[in-house]
Amino acid sequence: MELIQHLVSRTRGSDLHALATDIQEAMLLESLPTTRISDPVRVAFEIAAEEMRVPSTSLYRRGLRRERDQRVRVARQLAMYLLWHVAKLSTIKIAQEFGLKDHTTVLYGRDATERRMIAEPGFAARVRDCVARCAAARDQERRAS
């Protein structure tokens, strides 16, 4: 707690908001269940987060960082697409992995990614690269077991 107070005292203006959301995110992560995330889900989250330049932890919960909302939203949608397209998980299973109540959010996220791929060839190339990386990780995991 002293560390938090020290950091807050040294932070000014808009940085204070960013720091507060960092603290909120850290507290949230500590409260998450400690069950092991399946490898395909972990890989998809890491690849999508890396591609969109957001922390993979931000994919577990929406609305923590206002300044990154769009990138986090696109990263979540990309992870949903990867889990559906590469890992072949059902939309219900994907919704459970994201902590969602309803699989229709997964359908929307997957479809939004597909629509954006059609509209933006550069984005489509990035998604194909993510699919290849996710498939390579899946294949490596299969060979190892």
Least confident of 2-16, 33-47, 63-77: 2-16
The rounded distance, in Å, linking the Cα atoms of 137 and 9 is 44
pLDDT category of residue 63 using cuts at 50, 70 and 90: very low
Residue-averaged pLDDT of the chain: 79
- The full set of domain ranges for the chain reads 1-31, 37-144
Output the pLDDT for position 111: 96
The rounded distance, in Å, linking the Cα atoms of 130 and 52 is 11
pLDDT category of residue 68 using cuts at 50, 70 and 90: low
Percentages of the chain per state (helix, strand, coil), in multiples of 5: 75, 0, 25
Output the pLDDT for position 57: 81
88-132: pLDDT as tens digits = 999 999 998 888 888 999 999 999 999 999 999 999 999 999 999
Assessment of whether the complete model's pTM goes beyond 0.75? no
Superfamily of domain 37-144: DnaA protein, C-terminal DNA-binding domain (1.10.1750.10)
The rounded distance, in Å, linking the Cα atoms of 115 and 124 is 10
Q: Please state the rounded mean pLDDT for residues 22-49.
A: 66
Residue type, 15: D
